Amino acid sequence: MPLREDLLQPIPGSNPAGANLRYDPIYDKIKEARREEEDVDQGDWKRTRKVADWPLVIKLSGEALATKSKDLQIAAWLTEALLKQESLGGLRVGLELLRRMLEKFWEQLYPELEGGDAELRAGPLTWVGRYLDAGVRTVPLTKAGHHMLKYKESRTVGYEAEAKADEKKQAAREAAISEKKLTAEEFDKAFEATPKAFYKQIVTDLDGCAKAIQELDAFGQQKFGDAAPGYGPLSQALEEVQDAARQLLEKRLQTDPDPIDAVAGDGGSGPAGGGAAGPLAPEPTSVEDAAGRIASAARFLRRHDPRNPAPYLMVRGFRWGELRAGGPDLDPRLLAAPPTHVRTHLKTLLLDQKWAELLDAGETIMSTPNGRGWLDLQRYELTAAEMLGPEYQYVRGAIRGSLVGLLRDFPTLPDLTLMDDTATANVETRTWLQNGGLIAAAAEGAEPARAGSAAPESRPRFGRAAFDRAMDEVRAGQPQKGIELLMREAEQEKSSRARFLRRSEAAQIMVDGGLEAVALPILKELLEQIEAHKLDDWEAGDGDAVARPMGLLYRCLEKLGGDAEMKDNLYRQICRLDPVQAMAFPTASPSPSNDGTPGN
C-alpha cells in the first residue's frame, strides 16, 4: 500500500506543523479507539469485551495528521493501526511516514524540542521500537491465520509419528493437544493450502520493513544524538519472522519452483559434481535478504553437524566483513547493541552450563548486526566450545582465529562502546582477551604488516566514550582522574539521560575502588531521579541502565549499613530489571514489607 502524500503536506497557517493536539479531544478519541481489553474468562459477570477499532484509529489519525498537526505520537498510533489492519505492508508505510515527517518538519514537529533537547520527541519512536514487536510476531504465516508463535508451537508439539517411539514425547504431545496447542500436522496442512505468492509477498514486505527501520534509525542517530531512540525489540521480531517466512518460502519452492528463464537455461550445467539439489531458489532481493539467507544456511549446516567449522566461519566472514568494508576507520554506528533480554538469556545459559544451547544461541546472535562488535559473545561461545570437548576443537580454532584477525585489524575494538553506550567488552571479557593470549596473538600478527606499511604505527581511537577514557585512568592507577573526567563530562552533556549515565559510571568506579562513602550520596540522588521520572519504565528496553546504579547503591548499603527496607526495595527492583545482577547479591533481608522471600 502506498503512503498518503497528504499526510506530509504542511498545515495551512504560520506553523507548517499545525497545532499541539496533546490536550485536544482527538487524543482521547484515538486512545479509546485503540483500547482493547484482555480476552480472559469473565466467570459469571460476562459482558461484551472492548476490542480495538483499528479502521477508526486509521481514520482519526490520518485526518489529524493531514489537517491539524504533525504529531509523532499520532503517527506512531497510525503505524500501529496500519500493522494491525494491513499487516507488514502497513508497518512499512508507517515507518516511512515517521522518517519523512522527521525529515520534513524537524524544527516544528510535535513533541517539540525543549531547549534543543530531543529526548521528549524520541518517546513515540522508542514506543514504536519497543511495543510493536508483538504485532509483528502475530502476522499470519498461513492463509488460515497461523502466525510465527503458532509455527514455533507446532514444532514443539511435533508429529505423531515421531512421538510414538518415545512414551515421554507421546505423553507430552497429548498434554499439549489437550491444551489446544497446534500440532505440526495441523500447521503443515495450513501451509499446503497457502500459495507461494503469499510467502513471496511476506518476504518482500519484511525486507521493506527492515530497510525502513535502518533509514529511520540512521536519521535518528544523526539528529537525536544521545537521545536517539532504539528499535531493538522490533528489529528482533522482524528478523525472527523473516527467518520463518524464508524457510516456508524455500519449502514451498521445492514443490512449486519458479520457472528458470532462458538466460539461466543457456548457462550450461551447474558446478561439476554438484548434482541436482532441487529447484533453484530466487536471487536475494536486498542486502537484508542476502544476510537472512546466510544466517539460514549457517543454521542449517550447524544443526546438521554442529562440529563443522564452516557455518561459524560463514557468519563471521559476513558480519566482520561489514566492519572491514570501510577500511581501517571503524564506523562506530555499525556496533549494534544486543537488547537486555538477549544478554540475560546468554548469561543464564553460561551460568547454567548449558554449553550446546549457549553455542547455538550465540551463533544466532552472531548472524545478526548485534554480533559485529559485542566481544562478550565471543567469550561465551569459545567457553562453550571449550567445555564441549575435543570434538569441537575445529570450531574453537575457527572462532579463535577469526577473532584474532578481527583484533589485528581493529586493535582498539575492546575499548570501544556499542551504540547503546555499553562496552564492546566488559571487564571480564577484557581480562579474558588479555590472559587468553588473544591480544598478544593479534599484536604479533600485526607487526609485519605495520613494519611494511607507510601508515602511522598507532591508529586513532574511533568512537571512544568517556567511560573508556576513565577506565584507562583507573588501569593506570589514577581512579580519581577517571572519576573527575566522568563528572566533568556529566556537566557538559546536553541530554539528561547522558548526564545520568555519566554519573552512574563515575559511581561505579568509586564503588569498585572502595569509595562507597563518596558514591553513596550520588547514587541516592540517581535513585531519586529514577523514582521521580519513572525511569524504570522509560528504560524498559534497557533495564541495565537503571539497574546498574541500583545495584551499586545496594552494594554501598551492604558495606556501610543503612536502611534495610531500602535494601529490600532495591533488591526487588533489581530482580525485575536485571535478574542476572541480582543473583550476585546476598539474599535480601526480611522486612515488614514482605514475608522474607527475596523479590516478593
pLDDT (tens digit per residue) in 12-68: 999 999 999 988 999 999 999 999 887 655 555 666 778 899 999 999 999 999 999
| Alpha-carbon gap, residue 69 to 110, rounded angstroms | 8
| Alpha-carbon gap, residue 122 to 113, rounded angstroms | 10
Mean pLDDT of 570-595: 62
| Beta bridge pairs of residue 423 | 417
Mean pLDDT of 489-513: 80
pLDDT at position 39: 67
pLDDT at position 494: 65
For residue 287, give the C-alpha cell: 542486502
**Residue 204 CA neighbour count, 13 Å, CB half:** 10
pLDDT (tens digit per residue) in 367-420: 989 899 999 999 999 999 989 888 888 898 889 989 999 999 999 999 999 988
Q: Helices 25-34 and 54-67, interaxial angle, to 10°?
A: 150
Percent of the chain with pLDDT over 70: 84
User: Which one has a higher pLDDT value, 508 or 282?
Assistant: 508
Q: How many other β-carbons are positioned within 10 Å of the β-carbon of residue 95?
A: 28
| Alpha-carbon gap, residue 86 to 93, rounded angstroms | 10
pLDDT at position 452: 37
For residue 369, give the C-alpha cell: 548486526
pLDDT at position 289: 76
Q: How many helices (H) and strands (E) does the chain have?
A: 28, 0
pLDDT (tens digit per residue) in 19-32: 999 889 999 999 99
pLDDT at position 594: 39
**Confidence band for 590, pLDDT divided at 50, 70 and 90:** very low
Residues 385, 396: contact at Cβ < 8 Å? yes
Identify the helix (H) or strand (E) that includes residue 502. helix 496-512
The DSSP result for 112-166, as a single string, is PPBTTB-HHHHHHHHHHHHHSHHHHHTSBSSTT--BHHHHHHHHHH--HHHHTT-
Residues 92, 212: contact at Cβ < 8 Å? yes
| Alpha-carbon gap, residue 467 to 488, rounded angstroms | 12
Q: How many other β-carbons are positioned within 10 Å of the β-carbon of residue 230?
A: 21
Counting Cβ atoms within 10 Å, is residue 48 exposed (0-12), middle (13-18) or buried (19+)? exposed
Q: Tell me if residue 71 falls in helix, strand or coil.
A: strand
pLDDT at position 458: 31
**Which range (313-322, 480-489, 547-556) has the least confidence?**
480-489
**Confidence band for 456, pLDDT divided at 50, 70 and 90:** very low
Query: What's the angle, vertex CA 440, arms to CA 393 and CA 416, rounded to 5?
Result: 100
DSSP secondary structure code for residue 12 in this structure: S
For residue 536, give the C-alpha cell: 524504570
| Alpha-carbon gap, residue 467 to 386, rounded angstroms | 32
Amino acid identity at 348? T
**Confidence band for 537, pLDDT divided at 50, 70 and 90:** low
Amino acid identity at 22? R
pLDDT at position 146: 93
pLDDT (tens digit per residue) in 215-238: 998 888 888 877 888 888 898 889
pLDDT at position 269: 35
> Residue 249: which of 212, 305, 214, 205 has the closest Cα?
205
**Confidence band for 598, pLDDT divided at 50, 70 and 90:** very low
pLDDT at position 59: 95
pLDDT at position 247: 85
Q: How many other β-carbons are positioned within 10 Å of the β-carbon of residue 283?
A: 8
pLDDT at position 443: 82
Over 50: is that where the pLDDT of 449 sits? no
pLDDT at position 586: 63
| Alpha-carbon gap, residue 183 to 542, rounded angstroms | 36
pLDDT at position 344: 85
pLDDT at position 413: 94
pLDDT (tens digit per residue) in 505-526: 888 888 888 888 888 888 888 8
Long-range contacts of 314-319 (CB under 8 A, 24+ apart): 315/363, 315/366, 315/367, 315/371, 316/366, 316/398, 316/399, 316/402, 316/406, 317/402, 318/291, 318/294, 318/367, 319/366, 319/367, 319/368, 319/369, 319/371, 319/372
Distance separating the N- and C-terminal Cα atoms of the chain: 48
Mean pLDDT of 471-487: 77
| Alpha-carbon gap, residue 150 to 137, rounded angstroms | 10
**Which range (428-437, 538-547, 561-570) has the least confidence?**
538-547
| Alpha-carbon gap, residue 186 to 205, rounded angstroms | 26
pLDDT at position 390: 82
Counting Cβ atoms within 10 Å, is residue 324 exposed (0-12), middle (13-18) or buried (19+)? middle
Q: Tell me if residue 470 falls in helix, strand or coil.
A: helix
User: Which one has a higher pLDDT value, 183 or 225?
Assistant: 183
Measured CA distances, 522 to 51, 96, 379, 441, 483 (Å): 46, 42, 33, 41, 12
Mean pLDDT of 546-565: 84
Residues 429, 414: contact at Cβ < 8 Å? yes
pLDDT at position 457: 32
